[in-house]
Amino acid sequence: MSYKEIIAKYAEVPGGIIEAFHAVEKELSFLPEEAIAEAARVFKVPAAEAFGVASFYSMFSTKARGKNVIRLCESAPCHVAGAAEVVAAIEKELGIRMGESTNDGLFALEFTECVGQCQATPVITINSKPYLDVTPAIIPNILAEYK
């Protein structure tokens, strides 16, 4: 489905620009500039406002990235519980650094703020699905679900 078709589905939804952006990201893994401009047209807002929405929220990306977005919580509880070791394990397993995507376009690796699961740290999410009590040893099994 094209970004135009996706955005059109939310045209009559009050405040639908955010829902439309989520749907476009789910399909394309990021918000292309032309999709943001299309949303401005459909929702009858200035282009600067649509770009402001796309760039304000950390869950949106305006740059191409891997299909499966891995986010690692960088809050204090996750940091204390060993988040740095988890990051190192993911980077080693995927052959990328934080903020990069794999060459095959399958994975992107990003930091995020607290995901509200402090009872079971460290936490990663992949496409918003949380994984709790993550250790370097289980990273290969988690990633295998998405390969």
Residue 114 above 90 pLDDT?
A: no
In three-state secondary structure terms, 36 is: helix
Mean pLDDT lowest among 37-41, 43-47, 58-62, 138-142: 58-62
d(C-alpha 99, C-alpha 26), whole Å: 19
Give the model's pLDDT for residue 1.
86
CATH superfamily of 68-144: Glutaredoxin (3.40.30.10)
In the predicted structure, residue 24 carries a pLDDT above the cut 90: yes
Domain ranges of the chain: 3-56, 68-144
Helix (H, G, I), strand (E, B) or coil at 72: strand
Q: What is the pLDDT of residue 101?
A: 95
| Residue 101 backbone dihedrals phi, psi, to 5 degrees | -120, 155
Going from the C-alpha of 25 to that of each of 2, 32, 35, 87, the distances in angstroms are 11, 9, 10, 24
